[in-house]
Amino acid sequence: MKVAFIGHRHFNSDLLARTVLLKVIDLVEKLIVENKARTFIFGAMDGFDYMGYSAVTVQRAENYPRLKRFYISQIPEELIESKKIFIENFEKFKFPFKDLNAGNQRFFKRNELIVDACDILVTYYNKEHPEMETKKAYDYAVANGKKIINLFDEQEAKYLKF
């Protein structure tokens, strides 16, 4: 089972960030135990995506050393000064873009690649105030029949920063 994380990057409150992180930690363990999730896919290392990465990394270190972390970058490989960070933090990584000319389309295409690669998309997505990247990824997952777990809670909306 392959699980991807895509969600909002900014939280206005440390309390909200900690609350969401606790949800992510619980969900990651449940996905590993109940759904036999073994591969986790990421495309950013901030906000919600980083929470997912952190929860998976702790589970990998403490309980499940065979978990795989897969990173799909929006940055062309030629622009990465050192792959050391990827080698040390991911079991697999991919640089699908050759140049920066695509602009923001690289982010949308990267998210499509992430959704295509997963069985389950875990997201933190407020439909009332969507960040464009998260909205497009969510809509793409819906259109492609992906199982989606949205950890967003309406009561948390005022603590998001857009």
- Compute how many other C-beta atoms are within 10 angstroms of the C-beta atom of residue 150: 14
36-to-27, 29, 96 alpha-carbon distances in Å: 12, 10, 28
Per-residue pLDDT of the chain (162 residues; tens, 9 = 90+): 999 999 887 777 788 889 999 999 999 999 999 999 999 999 988 889 999 999 999 999 999 999 999 999 888 777 777 777 888 889 998 888 776 676 678 888 999 999 999 999 999 988 876 667 888 999 999 999 999 999 988 666 555 554
Question: Burial code of 58-74, b = ≥16 C-beta within 10 A, e = fewer?
Answer: ebbeeebeebebbbbbb
What pLDDT does residue 162 have?
43
Q: What is the pTM of this model?
A: 0.89
What pLDDT does residue 155 have?
65
Q: Does domain 2-159 have CATH number 3.40.50.450?
A: yes
Beta-bridge partners for 71: 42, 93
Q: Tokens 């875990």 sit at which residue? A: 122
